[in-house]
Amino acid sequence: MNPKQAALKPTLTKCLAGTLIGKRCTITFPSSTTAVEFCPNGEMKWVSTDARTNAVTAGAENFSYLQLDQDLLMVNWVEKTGNMISQIINITTKEVHAFWTDSALRACSNGYTGLIKGRIEVL
């Protein structure tokens, strides 16, 4: 984390303390269901189950976040694979819009990005 990010993080953590930080949730997309914990230290722990194959994967990523409005958040992280993920989460409507860029295809002339809509349940 660079010094500028470090300076912003305490303010953002305070803004989100009652929303997602320190909480667990389930995010469901057509292709998967993921249990997520947004830890106060900036780590996101997750366990995901593929809807088609029931294969389970798990991991932990460092995330960045920004409160866009009272109930609207943006969460962003880079996976260990290099894939970049951004989610816009509406706590009131329980909608999640996830955008991603596939690292393996980023170097291609047209690359690959995706958008998927899902639901969030804060536990």
What's the pLDDT score for residue 111? Answer: 56
Number of domains in the chain: 1
pLDDT, one tens digit per residue, over 93-119 is 999 999 988 766 655 555 567 889 999
Instruction: Give the span between the Cα atoms of 76 and 108, in whole angstroms.
Output: 23
What's the pLDDT score for residue 2? Answer: 54
What's the pLDDT score for residue 14? Answer: 42
Domain span holding position 62: 3-122
Nearest to 83 by CA among 98, 70, 102: 102
pLDDT, one tens digit per residue, over 36-90 is 999 988 899 999 999 999 999 999 999 988 888 888 999 999 888 888 899 999 9
CATH number for the domain harbouring residue 32: 2.40.128.20
Regarding predicted confidence, which is higher, 82 or 122? 122
Is 41 within 8 Å of 22 (Cβ atoms)?
no
Bridge partners, residue 23, by sequence: 38
Where helices occur in the chain by DSSP H, the ranges are 3-16
What's the pLDDT score for residue 98? Answer: 94
What's the pLDDT score for residue 36? Answer: 96
